Amino acid sequence: MAGQYGNEPMMEMFLFETSQLLEQLEQLILTCEKSNCYTEDTVNEIFRIMHTIKGSSAMMMQDSISTISHSMEDLFYFLRESKPQKIDNSALSDLVLEGVDLIKIEVEKLKNGDKADGNTSELQGRIKSLLSDFQMSNSSSNTVKDRKLLVNKEQQYYLSQDKTRINTAKYKNAFKATIHFEEGCEMENIRAYEIVHNIRDITDEFFHIPERIIEDDSCAEIIRQEGFKLFLRTDSSYEELHEFFMETLFLKDLELVQIEIDDYYRLYDEKQEITSKNISVSNRSSGEESEEIRETHSVSSQQNIISVNMTKLDKLMDLVGEMVIAEDMVIQNPDLKGMELENFQKASRQLQKITGEI
């Protein structure tokens, strides 16, 4: 069988596995059709199959297969996360089977040595339309409307807030780093987040542009175009900091400059002003002028608001406090004095990083 499809073992394996997954998928859909019900396990399994086909076809540069499997993955992501009550099972099964048929045709073309160049836009449009129907008919329930919304909802609890002038004498140096990532590395905003996460080993006083790297997907594009700008105060030297940044994976270009401490705060103020203006403009354009004054006072007021039971919040605060104390008791434990515990120290640093974020 080796070499049967021209592209050698990788193509062979891709076609073999995709065909197997499609068969599995068909069986699952037929079972659901019979029972007129999509169980949680089935939805998870279909999501996983579509995710696998999407990833593998993307690796093989098979866009038609990747596009359709991506659309179906989105559909089942919604079903998995939102668990909607009102679903037209029959319409869902029909559309998924159509998707399976289309992918099968594309797979056949590849097996015959032809190009998989099928037109997916019509089916893709209908999948999107079914997804928005599901979203509309389930919008009153406490569900997540789409993946983007889920990203925002989940991430609002993890906002990294800029450090303000807590203590101007705390660190002696100030730096500005502009980081460009290699083209095609993808998820530049999450790569920037990795840097922010790791910089906490060096300092707790920093801010960055763009600011909402986790909450706002468009930051990936901004970072791609303009780079990720990180301003920080630290006791580390230029060389130490340079070494830190050079460890960044997919780093294309680093511009690191030491700046005056006054400049650090001036830039911080400028950033705050720009952020506030942007929020005002964005609100004005969406017809919410009345909110402008309140929102320009604080960046954080732009974030989504959730209701939290005060008793639970107090308890959570207490637990966090206790956790930090317990952490200190473990890490600073006198029994450990003089002992060389490299792994323990690394684990402690990780723990401190996480509790620091909490």
Partner 1 sequence: MKKVLIVDDASFMRMTISMMLKKHEFEIVGEAENGIEGVEKYKELRPNIVTMDITMPKMSGIEALRQIREFDPNANVIMITAMGQEILVREAVLNGAKSFLVKPFKEEQVVQAIKKVLAIN
User: Six-digit token pair at 306?
Assistant: 């959730």
Among 3, 9, 321, 356, binds partner 1 (CB under 8 A): 9
Q: Which is nearer to partner 1, 61 or 329 (CB)?
A: 61
What is the DSSP secondary-structure string of 124-190? Answer: HHHHHHHHHHHHHHTTTSS---SHHHHHHHHHGGG--PPP-SS-TTS-SEEEEEEEEEPTT---HHH
- 3-state SS class at 100: helix
Told to check if 346 binds partner 1 by CB under 8 A, we report yes
CB 93 within 8 A of CB 32: yes
Using the contact rule CB under 8 A, the part of the chain among 204-212, 291-299, 315-323, 343-351 near partner 1 is 343-351
341 near partner 1, judged by CB under 8 A: no
Q: Of these, 19, 26, 42, 51, which contacts partner 1 (CB under 8 A)?
A: 51
* Residue 211 is a binding residue for partner 1 (CB under 8 A): no
Q: Is 147 in the site for partner 1 (CB under 8 A)?
A: yes
Given 10, 30, 313, 326, the residue binding partner 1 (CB under 8 A) = 10
357 touches partner 1 (CB under 8 A): yes
Pairing, β 173-181 against β 228-234: antiparallel
Of 77, 78, 181, 206, which lies in the binding site for partner 1, with binding defined by CB under 8 A? 77
CA 337: distance to chain centroid? 40
Determine, following the binding rule CB under 8 A, whether residue 320 of this chain makes contact with partner 1. no
Q: Which residue number, 135 or 272, has a Cβ lying nearer to partner 1? A: 135
Q: DSSP letter at 302?
A: G
For partner 1, which residue of 151, 202, 267, 324 counts as binding (CB under 8 A)?
Answer: 151
Range in contact with partner 1 (rule: CB under 8 A) among 68-76, 100-108, 269-277, 316-324 = 68-76
> 181: closest CA among 220, 211, 224?
224
Please pick, from the candidates 2, 34, 36, 61, the single residue that binds partner 1 as defined by CB under 8 A: 61
What's the min distance (Å) between Cβ of 170 and partner 1?
25
Using alpha carbons, select from 228, 216, 217, 219 the residue that is nearest to residue 180.
228
Looking only at residues 29 through 48 of this chain, which bind partner 1 when binding is defined by CB under 8 A? 45, 48
Nearer to partner 1, 208 or 233 (CB): 208
Q: In what order do the strands lie in the sheet with 251-259?
A: 205-209, 228-234, 173-181, 251-259
Q: How many CB atoms lie within 10 A of CB 86?
A: 11
- Spatial distance between the Cα atoms of 92 and 89, rounded to a whole number of angstroms: 5
Structure tokens at 358: 């909490």
**Residue 189 interacting with partner 1 (CB under 8 A):** yes
Q: What are the residue ranges of helices labelled H in 232-341?
A: 238-246, 261-285, 292-297, 310-331
Q: Least separation, in Å, of the C-beta of 289 and partner 1?
A: 32
Task: Mention every residue, 6+ apart, whose C-beta is less than 8 A from residue 192.
Answer: 179, 208, 213, 219, 223, 228
Residue 59 or 91 having the CB closest to partner 1: 59
Contact flags string 226-255 toward partner 1, x per CB under 8 A: ---------------------x-xx-----
Q: Give residues in contact with partner 1 (CB under 8 A).
A: 9-10, 13-14, 17-18, 45, 48, 51-52, 54-56, 58-59, 61, 70, 73-74, 77, 147, 150-151, 154-155, 158, 184-187, 189-190, 193-194, 197, 214, 217, 247, 249-250, 343, 346-347, 350, 354, 357
